[in-house]
Amino acid sequence: MHTRSLFLLVAATIAVASPVEEASAEATEASAASFCRNPEVRREWRTFSSTEKAAYIAAVNCLARKPHTTALKPTYPRSNIPSVTAHSSYYDDMTYVHMDLTDQIHYTGLFLPWHRWFVNAHVQQLKAQCGYKGVMPYWVQTLLLDLVDLEIHCKTTKLLQEVSQT
């Protein structure tokens, strides 16, 4: 089972990262003149306005209300995590994919590229399935070392309470 999971992971990575052969010659010619015209720039969570935070939280909650999809299947059944069920949500499915592949991703050279791909896949699902218009936030964890900044904690707690009531 472990070999099958690793094979699927490598195959998926190659499929995502490999250029299409027919288009590769055109891509090579165009690459010198090409550039990303509209890159999405992620922002630190605390730079989001209250409206932007609420929109992100609403999109995550929306994904949590979307039904489970049979397209995402566990490849490496694990006894230490709960099983995907018919009652699972799409958000649960994505979380499960991450947990399912922990051993194959977290302890390898694929850690960074896989997580970059996964975070992008997550925000694309927020946009496609829930109409999210913003960017994926990130957290500067070193700013949380003191966790004494009650103003940030209280504002976020208040926002979460307001969003959960809607």
Domain enclosing residue 37, as ranges: 2-164
What's the chain's average pLDDT?
Answer: 77
Secondary structure string (H, E, C) spanning 66-85? CECCCCCCCCCCCCCCCCCC
Give the model confidence (pLDDT) of 59-90 as tens digits: 999 999 999 888 876 676 677 777 778 888 99
CATH of the domain at 92: 1.10.1280.10
Give the model confidence (pLDDT) of 121-146 as tens digits: 999 999 999 999 999 999 887 776 66
Give the model confidence (pLDDT) of 3-40 as tens digits: 455 444 444 444 444 444 444 455 555 565 667 788 88
What confidence score (pLDDT) does residue 10 get? Answer: 42
Kindly tell me if the per-residue pLDDT of 120 is higher than 80.
yes
Total tally of structural domains belonging to the chain: 1
What confidence score (pLDDT) does residue 82 get? Answer: 76
Question: Could you give the CA distance from residue 86 to residue 106 in angstroms, rounded to a whole number?
Answer: 28
Tell me the pTM: 0.65
What confidence score (pLDDT) does residue 166 get? Answer: 57
The number of beta carbons lying within 10 Å of the beta carbon of residue 165 is 6
Q: List, as one string, the DSSP characters of 107-145.
A: TSTTHHHHHHHHHHHHHHHHHHHH---S--EE--GGGGS
Question: Could you give the CA distance from residue 127 to residue 134 in angstroms, rounded to a whole number?
Answer: 8
